[in-house]
Amino acid sequence: MTPEKTDPPHPRNRATVRRAAVLGSLCALVAAWLLLVNVRGAVDDERAFRAAVSCDSGDDCLRTTGARIDRTERVEGKKTASYFLYVTEADGTTSSPRLWGSPSDPPAASTGTRVEVTYWRGQIRYVDFDSTRRYTTADPRGGHRPFASFGLAIGVFGAGVLWVSYWWARHSRSTVRADPWQVGVPITGAVLLTLPGAGAPWVTDSFGSALRLLGLCSLAVLAACSVAALIVRRRQRGDDTIAMTPSVPTEERIFAARIVGEVPYATQAFLAAGPTSLFSTPDPTGAAFRRRIPDTLSPVRVRPPYWRDPDHHNYGAKAVVLECEDKGTPVLVVTARKNMPWLLGTLGPPSPGTAPSNSASCKPS
């Protein structure tokens, strides 16, 4: 059976494919290292610590010795309160384990108080104040959580980015939209899953439980993305002209925009839209270096950005494109969706009966 042939991505999309592939691969490698090396090591340490027994000497057992508190020292500049507990043991050994909280919190760490410190693998893991036990910051229990949190979050995000790379590599010629639903819906789902991915290790007592919780959240997100895909797919079928009602500005409106095309007034700055005139200006106040846009600029239709549009990556997430013509020369005016009614109000609505063109493009000036 002959394998299905797939057209290579359009030259303008190759850079997108490469960037997405590199970013997704880096995320996958970092996630694999964190989950397979750091998390596994931390889980093994916790398991060994919980299984350790008391002894008089040795590193792999719990060695407890008496000590006296010499002084305490708060750790400054941290959001979570902690302090160093300086103690001297019976044989004269001094150490300074770090504990969470404040020295004045019960049980109070007062100078001269007798305590018991317990070592495991060369570090003090907890301190006993009479009948109260306080674990130090070297407590191995739950040590997998920071690594698992970051690893799961970046792993889920990397999977979404790899999907973007795969889809654009195989199907970039099947759509002209810069944000097709086949890319937007999966990457949105991946971003949403980073939240339970990052939070699951902190609300569960083991790495396995965190994975199960993330799996349940994945099913919920998958169901939501399936519904969203059906809705967006229906909306993106057929003509992608955006219906928009012109709004004639009663006073001059200044907004960021860009004019793209082989015309002398092509610019990337600001537009000043008035009731009857349109100016381009590099001044955000619209007062300096104003240049009038000629009346020969005629709007055709409003549409979403296309990946073949010049520099479409920098149009902005809320940008829409106004296809125009100036004496037969195609021109694109790109601005935020909220500004487009003012622009249409100044230029006038698209001519009735004008056929939308899915092949109009402009070369960067």
Beta bridge partners of 267: 259
Reduce the DSSP state of residue 185 to 3 states and report it: helix
Q: What is the per-residue pLDDT across 271-327, written as a single tens digit (0 to 9) for each?
A: 999 888 899 989 888 888 889 999 899 999 999 998 888 877 778 878 999 999 999
Low-confidence ranges of the chain (pLDDT < 70): 1-13, 172-173, 238, 351-365
Q: Tokens for 7, please give them.
A: 């057209």
Amino acid 299: pLDDT: 93
Helices and strands in the chain: count of H runs, count of E runs: 6, 15
CA distance 125 to 118: 6
Q: What is the pLDDT of residue 361?
A: 53
Q: What is the DSSP letter of 351?
A: P
Model confidence pLDDT, tens digit, residues 104-128: 989 999 999 999 999 999 999 999 9
Cα 261-262-265 angle, rounded to 5 deg: 80
User: How is residue 169 written in tokens?
Assistant: 């590599």
